[in-house]
A = this chain, B = another copy of it.
Amino acid sequence: MVDVLIKNGFLLTMKGEGVGAIEDGAVAIEGNRIVAVGKTQDVERQFPSAGQTFDARGKAVLPGFVDAHIHTGMTILRGQGQDVPEIEWMLKTQGPFGRYTTSEHRLKASTLGVLEALKSGTTCFGEIGAGSEVVEKVYVPSGVRAKIGSTINEISPGSQRSAYELYEFDSAAGERRLAQSLDMVNKWHGAAGGRITCLLAPQAADMVSKELLLRVKEIAKEKDLLVHIHIAQGGREEIQMKLRYGKSAPRFLDEIGFLDSSVIGAHCHQTTDEEVALLAQRKIRYVSCPSSISIIDGITPPLQVYLAAGGWAAGLGSDQASGNNSHNMMTELKIAALLNKTRHRDPTVLPAWKVLRIATIEGARCIGLDREIGSLEEGKKADLMMLNLKVPHLTPVISTPVRNVAPNIVYSARGDEVETVIVDGKVLMENRRVLTMDEESVIEEAQRAAEEVTSKAAEDYYKADSLLAKTMKKGLL
């Protein structure tokens, strides 16, 4: 007798080199672990009865998505920053909200972001920027898996006046944030039965002094933690790095000995191909956020460049909703493939099977969780989704000549086909109803929080006069 048996499904296990398809497959779960994966008749023979049985006929069963780089705390700002020059995004469309946003607002935003992502198949969150309260009140009760870092930087609120003026570092602020980060690690690393783990997250090379960067690195090594950092995230950072050090972030980080396999580098898009190859050589893990970076910077982040240079651990991230504007890994699959194909003018770049691996098993490797999750294999934690294939846009389901389920998920699914989600052996969503959150009140509370912040910030926002503010003034939106 197992706790959960899923049978008769089309399995994409991610075992082996490709998607590891098993037609008419089953997954048996005991506690929070997968105890068998195989053909339905074989698994049923081994485990003839189960506490809960799911008939997955007409459904695909695959590992939950790993959103390897996500800031859920900005979800209530969805739609307040896009279609502006890159140099304006952070300072003119995000900055104005900063001083009016409380930790309560961020809590509502994170709740909304987690709900949204979960509903399109994300089971594991590479959350950057959340504090202890968000872990306690969002990540633990929602039941999802997360690898979390609270942001460490040395920037005082309001001190970033212009991209062209060197940000002053406030070392007391840096110390405070480092201490908060370590508190969080002490309190939450390994919590909720191992569902919550932590890392250290210095924001970026232009926002943390060299000394603090190296200290963070050292502490991470002592504590056996990964370090998650934004690298080369656009022209604004590049200007700051050139002003301060006369060199790019990848070169600077390499020179100070920061780069190795304990580092997760996000974005890395304001780079030459040589710089990306350097990062790959130094064995950093890489999170690419195609939607976010193309919206904010007009650049396809160099996922294929990293892979072609031998990068060993790539993941995808949705970044933030004020920019992406969504936390939907299902649509991110297609966008990742299309943007990389066109960056290289090569339709064979990032084929469907590879993209699906990057969103699951390779994304898990990227954030250091591949021994636990990312594939459907005996012994792994039970994080998976069941997805309805009997919808017009995923029809037909064909096995030969081309087994088309994986390509059709990558290029045609959009998130709402995900019916049931299990994380750590627990059913978090069943038939699209999330069991751990009250969807209606999450939406309502996020709406109220957003109204509070945006109404207070409106005057500052218009004063900052971004292209988006101008678009509003012209009445085009």
Instruction: Report the minimal beta-carbon distance from A284 to chain B, rounded to whole angstroms.
Output: 23
Residue among A82, A115, A297 with most chain B CB within 10 A = A82
The answer, yes or no, to whether A303 is at the interface (CB within 8 Å) is: no
Task: Pick the 4 closest A-B CB pairs, nearest first.
Answer: A79-B404, A18-B476, A396-B450, A414-B414
Could you tell me if B475 and A392 are in contact, using CB atoms closer than 8 angstroms? no
Could you tell me if B443 and A80 are in contact, using CB atoms closer than 8 angstroms? no
B-contact bits for A72-99, CB 8 A (1 contact / 0 none) = 0000101111111110010000001000
Q: Chain B residue with minimal CB distance to A439?
A: B392
Could you tell me if B342 and A471 are in contact, using CB atoms closer than 8 angstroms? no
Q: What is the bound-complex CA distance between A82 and B298, given in angstroms?
A: 25
Q: Chain B residue with minimal CB distance to A412?
A: B326
Known: A408-B78, A477-B407. A393 touches B327 (CB 8 A): yes
Chain B neighbourhood of A397, CB < 8 A: 447
Q: Chain B residue with minimal CB distance to A467?
A: B348
Could you tell me if B328 and A84 are in contact, using CB atoms closer than 8 angstroms? no
Could you tell me if A347 and B84 are in contact, using CB atoms closer than 8 angstroms? yes
Give the contacting residue for A83; candidates B327, B407, B468; CB below 8 A: B407
The answer, yes or no, to whether A116 is at the interface (CB within 8 Å) is: yes
Give the contacting residue for A346; candidates B80, B298, B446; CB below 8 A: B298
Interface residues on A, range: 35 or more
Residue among A112, A344, A400, A462 with most chain B CB within 10 A = A400
Known: A396-B450, A414-B415, A454-B398. A443 touches B325 (CB 8 A): no
8 contacts between A and B (CB under 8 A): A18-B476, A80-B404, A85-B348, A296-B347, A325-B412, A400-B455, A402-B454, A416-B416
The answer, yes or no, to whether A291 is at the interface (CB within 8 Å) is: yes
Give the contacting residue for A299; candidates B83, B345, B455; CB below 8 A: B345
Could you tell me if A411 and B82 are in contact, using CB atoms closer than 8 angstroms? yes
Give the contacting residue for A412; candidates B78, B80, B458; CB below 8 A: B78
Instruction: Report the minimal beta-carbon distance from A318 to chain B, rounded to whole angstroms.
Output: 10
Chain B neighbourhood of A472, CB < 8 A: 400-403
Binds B, one of A128-136, A206-214, A245-253, A330-338: A330-338
Known: A19-B476, A342-B294, A347-B298. A78 touches B335 (CB 8 A): no
Chain B neighbourhood of A449, CB < 8 A: 396
Q: What is the bound-complex CA distance between A334 and B415, given in angstroms?
A: 15
Chain B neighbourhood of A335, CB < 8 A: 334-335, 338
Residues 425-477 (chain A) with a chain B CB within 8 angstroms: 439, 442-443, 446-447, 449-451, 454-455, 457-458, 461-462, 467-469, 471-472, 474-477
Instruction: Report the minimal beta-carbon distance from A395 to chain B, rounded to whole angstroms.
Output: 5
Which residue numbers of A lie inside 8 Å of B, CB to CB?
Answer: 16-19, 21, 76, 78-86, 89, 96, 112, 115-116, 119-120, 290-291, 294-300, 321, 324-328, 331, 334-335, 337-339, 341-349, 351-353, 390-398, 400-408, 411-412, 414-416, 439, 442-443, 446-447, 449-451, 454-455, 457-458, 461-462, 467-469, 471-472, 474-477
Q: What is the bound-complex CA distance between A447 and B83, given in angstroms?
A: 41
Instruction: Report the minimal beta-carbon distance from A324 to chain B, rounded to whole angstroms.
Output: 7
Could you tell me if A407 and B82 are in contact, using CB atoms closer than 8 angstroms? yes
Chain B neighbourhood of A390, CB < 8 A: 443
Known: A295-B341, A341-B298. A85 touches B347 (CB 8 A): yes
Instruction: Report the minimal beta-carbon distance from A455 to chain B, rounded to whole angstroms.
Output: 7
Could you tell me if B476 and A411 are in contact, using CB atoms closer than 8 angstroms? no
Residue among A296, A326, A345, A403 with most chain B CB within 10 A = A326
Known: A339-B342, A457-B401. A476 touches B347 (CB 8 A): no
Known: A19-B476, A416-B414. A352 touches B396 (CB 8 A): no
Residue among A83, A390, A468 with most chain B CB within 10 A = A83
Known: A342-B294, A395-B443, A396-B78. A18 touches B477 (CB 8 A): yes
Chain B neighbourhood of A349, CB < 8 A: 298
Q: What is the bound-complex CA distance between A89 and B346, given in angstroms?
A: 13
Chain B neighbourhood of A403, CB < 8 A: 472, 477
Q: Chain B residue with minimal CB distance to A457?
A: B401
Chain B neighbourhood of A393, CB < 8 A: 116, 119-120, 326-328, 415
Chain B neighbourhood of A411, CB < 8 A: 79, 82, 291, 295, 324-326
